[in-house]
Every structure is written in C-alpha cells, then in structure tokens.
C-alpha cells in the first residue's frame, strides 16, 4: 500500500465502519494558499498590543475551506489553564456571526461561545461591557468571526453599526479581529475606507486545473484508507473531479470522500471513473439554482 | 491531586471564563457570590444558570450542598473536588458531634448557627465576621467557614471578638443579598452591609483579653485535633462543652446559682441577660458569656469542676439533664465517682 502514508496502513486494514468514519472526519489537508494564511494568522496572534491593531478579512467563496482553515488554526491555539489551575486562558476565540445583523444576537452568541452566564434581556451596553470584561479576563488575543457577511448584510446603516462594533472591540480590547466571509463582506467593508484600511484582505482563491490542484489530489489520496491506489492525478480522473467540484476545495473534498465511501461499501478498493459516475452528486451550481428556485 | 487538564477537556467541560479557586477557608456561598460578580451577573442569575432545577438560596448549601450541585462546580471550574468539599461545614460539624451529617436532616445542628431563608428577614445572626480579616483581604473580602460555627466568637488571627451585625445599622450579614436592586453588583465588595452599605471591614475591633484569648486558642485546637491523648476526638470534648453550656444557660434554680458563682470566681461581673434557647441561636454576646464560663469549668479537670459543683450543691441530675448525645467516658466517670448518690436509679445510664 505504497499509495498511503504509513500511519494509515492499519486504518486501511480495519473494518468498514472504522474506515468510513475515518474518511468522513474532515481531516486537514495542507496546501500552499492555506499554509500562507495560517502563517499570517500566527504573525497576527503574536502581534504586540498597540492602539491600532492590525486585522484581517479572509475572503473566499462558500465551501472554499475558510471555516476548516480557521478550525485548524484554533486547534493550534487551544485554551489552557495557568499554573495552579488558577485561571483559564483562551488566546483565540471563534464565533459564527448570527444570521441577521443584530448586535444583541451577536453578543449572545459570543457569550455562549465563552461559556459565560448572561441576562437574556440585558441592555446592549451592559452586554457589551460583559463581553469586553470576559474577553479581557481570558487574555484573548484574537477574535475570529466567521460568516461575517451576515453581519454586514442589510442597510448601510446596519452595516455601519456593525463596523463600529468591530472597531470598538479592536480598539478597546486591543485584540486582533479576523473576519471571514464571502465577496459580499468584502464589498461592504470596502465601502468604509477607514475599515478597509484596518482590515487587510486575504483571499482563498478558487482552484484552477494546475500542478497545484494535482498535488492537492495526491495529498487527498495519501490520506484515504483504500487498499489499492486510485491514481487520482491521472488526467481522466482529475478532470472529472474538477468538473464535478467546480473548483472549490470543499466540493473537491466532498466528491472524493463520497466516492471513497461508495467504493468501500461496494467492496471496491479504489476510485475510478465508473465509480464517480455512480455516486449521487449534483453540481454545486445546480444545487444553488435549485435552492434559488425553492427559496 | 489535580487532574491533568487537557485543552480538549477544558472545552468539553465548558469551563466558566472567569473562574478562580475559593480563598483559604472560604464558605461555598461566599465563593459563589464572588464567582457571580466575576462574571458580571447577579447571584440569582448565576445560580439559575448553573442549576436551573434548584433554588440554591433556599437551602443551607454551606452546611452540605446536594451532590449534583457540587458536580457542576467540579466540571465547570478549575478547582479540584477535594478543595470544593472544604467549602462546606459538614466535615467540621461531623468532627464536633461525632455523627454523620445527612443532607436530608433539616432543623438544628449542634454548633452550626442556623441561617434563615432569603426572603425572610433574618433575626438570628447565622454568620459572624472579623473586621480585621475582611480588611486584610483587601480587594477581595470573603467569608470564612468558621464564622458559621457557634463557638467561633473570637478571631485567633486578629485577637479580637467577632461581630454579628453592622455597627452602623444593626443589620445581620447578608452578603448574597448585596445585588438586590443594584445594577452594578460586581462592584460591591462582600464586606459591604447589604442594608446601609457600611464597609464592615471598618467596624470597630474589640481586643480579647490575653487570658481569654489563650482559652480560645486551646478550644480551637481541640476542635481540630482533640483535647488530649486520652480524649483524642474533638466530639468527646465538645459534647460535654455543649452540655455545660446548656446547664449554665438555664436562667433559674441551681443553674442560675451556679453561673453567678462561676462568674464571681472568674473575677467577672455578673450580667445575666434574660431568656434562653439553643446555644447556636443566641446572640454572640451571650455565647461569649456562656463559653467562657464553660471553658473555665473544664480547666484543671476534674478538680475545679468537682469543687465548684460541690460548693454549689449541684446534683448529678442537673448536670446530665437532657443530654442528648452519649456521654464520653472521661466525663461520666467523674460524675459517677463524685456526684452519684446510691438512691439514684439511673446508674446504667453512665455505662458504656
Ligand atoms: Zn481576624
Ligand atoms: Zn448597615
């Protein structure tokens, strides 16, 4: 089983449920664009406290690996207790923006994320103070807000309100704010020159059919506990996967994962064109069109 | 032993963000109030958040909290279970009474001062304080477990009498009511009087005379490690102490004669306040009055006791009347030898 990394040999030889569970567990796959962003996040986390902290806006299309990348970063900076277990420290805190631009909702989500008790009906300013107090207490140095476009949706007034919330947090707490979102978020942020200035933008571009893409497929294959080599980088297979995924890493991963699971269930030990034909997979653009119709 | 806290365990256990350990000898209720303050929420909300199914402040959690309440604290703070158990009085009371304290048992507990229910006005002062200790605590004043024990009437560290009320308005200590009606509860130190906001750490301090203080040192040592080699367990001394206090607190007949005589022999003024009741429910001034006599009587054991009882013609019946718990041998043997008359039929009562 030379197509696999050695550590996975026992997994490849284990029973069906174990293998399927392993495949579906969202493993992190290294690729240059993500590695560069992880490095940048490390630099930001180590940034000394100054009056105007640098922030980051991570832009990428839906399902293009933002969330997984941020999760990976969080796993590298888990909470810990200080000596004697006296105090809890959470260097990095992640929160997903609420579906609507509602400040209170945002603070509630954040307090939930921090495992803090709070009063549902509290006044906005008191809630804000509580959030600041808890983040300070936890020695938080970076706040990551995923799906930031939700907060920046709506009228320009509500956009401004939220940009001010972010500005206030960054100033008062002197923490790094990492916002992650789609192109809409980028447009909203660009509308405020001051914010655009303080949020350096990083992109997670869509994948093109390049050497890099083929290297990504090779990485995937080395981590799939199949007993035979599939040779995903062979042009026929690589092109098919590319077409099915439409170039986002989330979809690439989904196609390969689904195919691998189908293979194992069918008693096959490799992914081939026939198998890719068999799997029940709707093109992402088609899926979006259907959603558009039904909504 | 502190368990190893892995980062994943920290996340899974949903550790409270602003948690800290209880201070030295801190009461559970005091720790909870300070934890609530640290999270910038009111006590009621904090306890409802952690224990939605129980009304925490309606029970005496400092005596013995229900296991699931303690479990929550073990999971959601960084403090180890052993240390959390020390914030409750059950172990201390068990040492003093020699009987296991069951949570289901309501009603009076020997040596433990009762606390009223939150929404009732507290007349009895179930908690005392030392202004000196509160002062030394600086920015984080807190309440000690020993301040709920009826025989803790002086502070061995500061050498002053403890206080049971606010010197400005006379209200008892009610630190968990501090945030009622206040928006910024977190800024109220636990040493603040809930009624008039006087800072209890600034209350006047009355020094304990040296001779009395050394008696209390002995008493507090006995409460931890027993009296002497022949009386190695605290309860073997404290059962008798409580009985002597009960005899002395009877405001008529032989007992009244006895306590007047004891005060005179101690060289102290006789000021017997009216009324009686369980020792744990008496005001601190009266507890001091009774304790000092009882401790004095048990010194030079048994010579002083025998002499004073004989001089006052106190009968053995008076001494052992209503004694609820089993009489320790060191005490019953003296009673049998020096006070028992042949006509008394309850001889068997003294035997073990
Ligand atoms: Zn003191
Ligand atoms: Zn007062």
Lowest mean pLDDT among A102-106, A183-187, B126-130, B250-254: B250-254
Give me chain B's average pLDDT, please: 87
- The confidence band for A187, taking pLDDT boundaries of 50, 70 and 90, is confident
- Cite the DSSP H helix spans in B39-180: 43-50, 67-76, 81-85, 90-97, 131-136
Residue B216 CA to ligand 1 center (angstroms) comes to 14
Residue B121: the pLDDT is 45
* Chain B interface mutation, best of A83, A85, A126, highest count of B Cβ atoms under 10 Å: A85
Whether the predicted pLDDT of A178 surpasses 90: yes
> Any idea how long chain B is?
352
- The confidence band for A123, taking pLDDT boundaries of 50, 70 and 90, is very high
Closest-approaching ligand to the CA atom of B205: 1
Closest-approaching ligand to the CA atom of B166: 2
Q: Which of A260, A99, A110, A246 is nearest to A175 (CA)?
A: A110
Partners of B23 on chain A (C-beta within 8 Å) are none
B177-201 pLDDT tens trace: 887 766 665 678 999 998 899 999 9
Q: Name the percent of chain B lying above pLDDT 70.
A: 88
Asked whether the beta carbons of B348 and B277 are under 8 A apart, the reply is no
Residue B345: helix, strand or coil by DSSP? Answer: coil
Q: Do A119 and B11 touch (CB under 8 A)?
A: no
B275-302 pLDDT tens trace: 577 899 888 998 998 999 999 999 999 9
B/e letters for A245-264, b = 16+ CB within 10 Å, e = fewer, are bbbbbbbbbbbbbbbbbbbb
Residue B26 CA to ligand 1 center (angstroms) comes to 13
* φ and ψ of A83, to 5 deg: -50, 135
**Cis geometry, peptide bond prior to residue B99 (ω within 30 degrees of 0):** no
* φ and ψ of A96, to 5 deg: -95, 130
- Give mean pLDDT, residues A57-75: 90
CA–CA–CA angle A170, A131, A113 (5° rounding): 105
> Which residues are paired to B187 by β-bridges?
none
Whether the predicted pLDDT of B125 surpasses 80: no
* Shortest distance, CA A168 to any CA of chain B (angstroms): 20
Partners of A129 on chain B (C-beta within 8 Å) are 40
> Any idea how long chain A is?
295
Q: Do B14 and A86 touch (CB under 8 A)?
A: no
Lowest mean pLDDT among B72-81, B99-108, B200-209: B99-108
Higher pLDDT, B216 or A291: B216
B58-84 pLDDT tens trace: 788 999 899 999 999 999 999 999 999
Q: Do A117 and B46 touch (CB under 8 A)?
A: yes
Question: How far is residue A51's CA from residue A249's CA, in Å, rounded to a whole number?
Answer: 37
CA contacts within 13 A on the Cβ side of B204 = 3
B20 in reach of chain A (CB within 8 A): yes
Question: How far is residue B30's CA from residue B176's CA, in Å, rounded to a whole number?
Answer: 8
Query: Could you tell me how many CB contacts below 8 A there are between chain A and chain B?
Result: 72
Q: Do A87 and B78 touch (CB under 8 A)?
A: yes
* Shortest distance, CA B262 to any CA of chain A (angstroms): 51
Residue B136 CA to ligand 1 center (angstroms) comes to 8
List the single residue in A with minimal CA-CA distance to B22: A86
Structure-token match 């032989």, residue found: B254
* Edge-first strand listing for the sheet containing A55-60: A92-96, A142-146, A176-181, A55-60, A199-204
**For residue A128, what are the contacts with CB-CB under 8 A and spacing of at least 6?**
A107, A168
Q: Do B41 and A130 touch (CB under 8 A)?
A: yes
Residue B123: the pLDDT is 52
Lowest mean pLDDT among A35-39, A161-165, B248-252, B330-334: B248-252
Partners of A116 on chain B (C-beta within 8 Å) are 16-18, 39
**For residue A258, what are the contacts with CB-CB under 8 A and spacing of at least 6?**
A279, A281
B73 in reach of chain A (CB within 8 A): no
Handedness of CA B66, B72, B74, B78 (dihedral sign): negative
Whether the predicted pLDDT of A242 surpasses 80: yes
Tokens, residue B202: 């600034």
Q: Name the percent of chain A lying above pLDDT 90.
A: 55
Predicted TM-score of the model (pTM): 0.88
- Give mean pLDDT, residues A6-19: 89
Higher pLDDT, B348 or A152: A152
- The confidence band for B152, taking pLDDT boundaries of 50, 70 and 90, is very high
A76-119 pLDDT tens trace: 999 999 888 889 999 999 999 998 888 999 999 999 999 999 99
Partners of B40 on chain A (C-beta within 8 Å) are 129-130, 133-134
Higher pLDDT, B178 or A265: A265
Q: Do B16 and A115 touch (CB under 8 A)?
A: yes
ipTM above 0.90, yes or no: no
């Amino acid at each position: 089983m030379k197509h696999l990394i050695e550590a996975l040999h026992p997994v490849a030889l284990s029973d069906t449920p174990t293998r399927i569970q392993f495949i579906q567990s969202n493993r992190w796959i290294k690729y240059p664009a993500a590695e560069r962003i992880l490095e940048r996040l490390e630099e930001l986390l180590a940034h000394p406290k100054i009056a105007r902290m640098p922030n980051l806006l991570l832009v990428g299309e839906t399902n293009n690996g933002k969330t997984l990348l941020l999760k990976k970063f969080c796993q590298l900076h888990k909470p810990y207790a200080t000596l004697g277990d006296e105090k809890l420290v959470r260097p990095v805190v992640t929160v997903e923006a609420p579906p609507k631009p509602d400040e209170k909702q945002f603070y509630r989500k954040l307090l939930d994320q921090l495992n803090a008790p709070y009063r549902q009906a509290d006044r906005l300013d008191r809630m804000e103070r509580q959030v600041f107090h808890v983040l300070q207490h936890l020695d938080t140095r970076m706040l990551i807000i995923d799906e930031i476009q939700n907060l920046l949706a709506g009228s320009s007034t509500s956009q401004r309100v939220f940009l001010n919330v972010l500005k206030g947090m960054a100033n008062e707490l002197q923490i790094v704010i990492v916002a992650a979102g789609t192109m809409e978020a980028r447009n909203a942020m660009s509308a405020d020159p001051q914010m655009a200035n303080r949020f350096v933008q990083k992109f997670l571009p869509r994948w093109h059919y390049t050497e890099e893409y083929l290297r990504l497929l090779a990485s995937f294959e080395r981590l799939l506990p199949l007993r035979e080599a599939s040779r995903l980088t062979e042009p026929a297979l690589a092109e098919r996967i590319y077409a099915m995924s439409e170039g986002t890493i989330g979809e690439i991963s989904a196609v390969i994962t689904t195919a691998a699971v189908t293979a194992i269930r069918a008693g096959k030990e490799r992914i081939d064109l026939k198998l890719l034909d068999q799997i029940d997979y709707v093109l992402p653009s088609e899926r979006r069109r259907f959603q558009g119709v039904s909504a | 032993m502190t368990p190893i806290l892995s980062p994943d365990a920290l996340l899974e256990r949903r550790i409270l963000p602003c948690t800290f350990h209880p201070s030295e000898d801190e009461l559970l209720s005091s720790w909870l109030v300070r934890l609530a303050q640290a999270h910038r929420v009111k006590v009621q909300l904090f306890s409802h958040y952690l224990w939605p199914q129980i009304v925490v402040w309606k029970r005496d959690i400092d005596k013995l909290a229900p296991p699931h309440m303690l479990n929550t604290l073990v999971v959601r703070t960084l403090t180890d279970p052993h240390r959390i158990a020390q914030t409750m009085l059950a172990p201390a009371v068990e040492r003093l009474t020699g009987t296991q304290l069951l949570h289901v048992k309501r009603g009076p507990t020997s040596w433990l001062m009762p606390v009223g229910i939150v929404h009732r006005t507290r007349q009895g002062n179930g908690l005392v304080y030392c202004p000196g200790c509160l002062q030394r605590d600086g920015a984080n004043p807190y309440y000690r477990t020993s301040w709920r024990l009826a025989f803790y009437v002086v502070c061995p560290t500061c050498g002053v009498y403890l206080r049971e009320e606010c010197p400005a308005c006379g209200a008892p200590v009610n630190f968990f009511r501090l945030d009622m009606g206040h928006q910024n509860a977190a800024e109220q130190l636990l040493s603040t009087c809930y009624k008039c906001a006087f800072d209890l750490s600034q209350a006047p301090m009355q020094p304990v005379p040296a001779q009395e203080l050394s008696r209390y040192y002995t008493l507090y040592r006995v409460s931890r490690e027993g009296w002497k080699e022949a009386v190695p367990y605290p309860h073997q001394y404290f059962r008798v102490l409580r009985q002597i206090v009960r005899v002395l607190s009877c405001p008529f007949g032989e007992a009244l004669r006895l306590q007047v005589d004891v005060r005179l022999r101690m060289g102290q003024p006789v000021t017997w306040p009216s009324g009686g009741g369980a020792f744990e429910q008496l005001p601190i001034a009266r507890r001091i009055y009774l304790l000092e006599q009882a401790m004095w009587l048990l010194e030079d054991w048994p010579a002083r006791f025998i002499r004073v009882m004989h001089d006052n013609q106190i009968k053995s019946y008076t001494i052992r009347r209503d004694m609820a718990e089993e009489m320790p041998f060191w005490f019953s043997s003296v009673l049998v030898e020096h006070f028992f008359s042949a006509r008394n039929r309850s001889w068997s009562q003294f035997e073990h």
